[in-house]
């Protein structure tokens, strides 16, 4: 161990290596900052519960979500059916649980696809520059000039009504946000000394993007992705509500709210419980994303 960088003593007096000590101190600081933000902890708790329900929903659902029982149609919430039943007697509690797989998976898939493609394209645009950079950014500006929901609806309608096509349409619309963010961060890094040295030693553009640029622009991209999950869930539910998302008999929150609007005056539970699931899930992911942004932004910690 170097004399200039001694380790620290652990709980039992053992000397902890300096790298481990720095890592431990970083995690302690992260935990302290999180403890100061109850809304972030609430968002993380909601997000964790939703993800656990999504994974274990087939085992938590007491009844078959697609089993039709016309004798039990439009029953109010009771001990037999916690969230009531729909117009063909299907158990809404089971459908809301299983529907989490469709809605949350759609949000996660959109963020992964749009974030990956947008980040790589933005870094490539910032590293290459010139005509290629101008062409890519003008295409992104054209996409951003159209309202996101209108463009998403147009793409989903052109591709055909299905959950996969809805996810693809949302991902295409969200790509420009990651491109602009990644390109802006790349332009700040492009003229730094280590980037110039890497070019001098003959590194390829792909090596620059994957090993030097992308790693340094990752924190703001992660924050953007965490905030986009809630938005993507809402957009997927919107497409399902207007009939461009998941189709019957698939249990999906937006489609369930759409089916329940015809019975909203008398059978309020039909639309209320899927709507509450959308609200709670989107709120949890947004709270966690806001807290993550504050955690990774040193300027915002003191506010």
* Residue 198, both tokens: 């890497």
> 96-113 burial string, b = 16+ CB within 10 Å, else e?
bbbbbbbbbebbbbbbeb
pLDDT tops 90 at residue 195 = no
Name the region of 13 (left: φ>0; alpha: ψ -120 to 50; beta: rest): left
- Evaluate whether residue 126 is within a structural domain: yes
pLDDT tops 90 at residue 63 = no
- Evaluate whether residue 21 is within a structural domain: no
Sign of CA dihedral 24, 29, 32, 37: negative
1-49 confidence digits (pLDDT tens): 444 444 444 445 544 455 666 666 666 666 666 667 788 888 889 999 9
- Evaluate whether residue 102 is within a structural domain: yes
- Percent of the chain scored above 70 by pLDDT? 81
- Evaluate whether residue 7 is within a structural domain: no
pLDDT winner (highest mean) among 61-70, 188-197, 275-284, 292-301: 275-284
C-alpha distances out from residue 136 to 18, 174, 175, 189, 244, Å: 45, 15, 12, 19, 29
How many Å separate Cα 50 from the centre of its chain? 13
pTM given for the model: 0.81
pLDDT at residue 18, rounded to an integer: 56
pLDDT tops 90 at residue 113 = yes
pLDDT tops 50 at residue 237 = yes
Number of compact structural domains in the chain:
1
- Evaluate whether residue 6 is within a structural domain: no
CATH code, domain with 87: 1.10.3720.10
Q: What angle do CA 161, 226, 233 make, to 5 degrees?
A: 25
How many Å separate Cα 68 from the centre of its chain? 33
- Evaluate whether residue 53 is within a structural domain: yes
pLDDT tops 50 at residue 94 = yes
- Evaluate whether residue 45 is within a structural domain: yes
């Amino acid at each position: 161990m170097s004399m200039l960088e001694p380790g620290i003593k652990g709980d039992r007096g053992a000397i902890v290596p300096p790298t481990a000590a720095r890592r431990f101190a970083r995690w302690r600081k992260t935990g302290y900052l999180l403890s100061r933000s109850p809304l972030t902890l609430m968002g993380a708790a909601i997000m964790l519960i939703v993800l656990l329900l999504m994974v274990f929903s087939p085992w938590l659902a007491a009844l078959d979500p697609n089993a039709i029982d016309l004798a039990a149609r439009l029953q109010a919430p009771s001990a037999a059916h916690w969230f009531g039943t729909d117009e063909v007697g299907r158990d809404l509690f089971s459908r809301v649980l299983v529907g989490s797989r469709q809605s949350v998976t759609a949000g996660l898939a959109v963020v992964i696809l749009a974030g990956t493609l947008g980040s790589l394209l933005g870094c490539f645009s910032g590293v290459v520059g010139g005509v290629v950079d101008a062409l890519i950014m003008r295409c992104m500006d054209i996409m951003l000039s159209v309202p996101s929901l209108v463009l998403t609806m147009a793409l989903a309608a052109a591709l055909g009504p299905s959950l996969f096509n809805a996810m693809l349409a949302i991902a295409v619309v969200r790509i420009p946000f990651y491109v602009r963010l990644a390109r802006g961060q790349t332009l700040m890094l492009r003229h730094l000394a280590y980037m110039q040295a890497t070019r001098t030693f003959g590194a390829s553009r792909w090596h620059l993007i994957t090993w030097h640029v992308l790693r340094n622009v990752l924190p703001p991209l992660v924050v953007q992705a965490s905030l986009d999950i809630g938005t993507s869930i809402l957009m997927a539910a919107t497409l399902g509500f207007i009939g461009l998302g998941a189709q019957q008999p698939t249990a999906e929150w937006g489609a369930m709210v759409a089916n329940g609007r015809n019975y909203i005056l008398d059978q309020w539970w039909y639309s209320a419980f899927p709507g509450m699931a959308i609200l709670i899930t989107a709120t949890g992911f947004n709270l966690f994303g806001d807290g993550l942004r504050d955690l990774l932004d040193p300027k915002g910690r003191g506010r």
